[in-house]
Amino acid sequence: MEITLIFNSIQNPFSSQPAGNFVVKTFFEGDMVDEGTSDGSYTPTSGMISGQPILITDPITNGKNSSFALIFTPQSAIPKGGIIRIYIPQPFGLRPTVIRSGGACTESAKYICTDVDVVERLIIIQNQVLIPANTTTSIVIVGLDNPRNNKPTAEFKIWTFDSNGISEIDSGFNIGTQMTTFWKIDNFEVQPTIEINGASSRYNFTISTKTEFVAGDVVHFTFPRQVTLPSDPAQI
Is residue 98 within a helix (H) or strand (E), and if so which, with residue range? Answer: helix 96-100
pLDDT, averaged across the chain: 89
Residue 48 has pLDDT above 90, yes or no: yes
Q: What is the mean pLDDT of residues 159-183?
A: 93
| Distance (Å, whole) CA 170 – CA 163 | 13
At 217 the pLDDT is 82
List phi, psi (to 5°) of 115.
-165, 145
Q: What is the mean pLDDT of residues 71-90?
A: 95
Encode pLDDT of 3-39 as tens digits: 777 888 777 766 666 677 788 888 888 888 888 888 7
- Is residue 211 within 8 Å of 62, Cβ to Cβ? yes
Residue 106 has pLDDT above 90, yes or no: yes
The residues that bridge with 31 in the sheet, in sequence order, are 28
> Going by CATH, does the domain composed of 47-175 fall within 2.60.40.3490?
yes
Domain boundaries, the chain: 47-175
* CA 104, 106, 112, 117 torsion-angle sign: positive
The length of the chain, given as a count of residues: 236
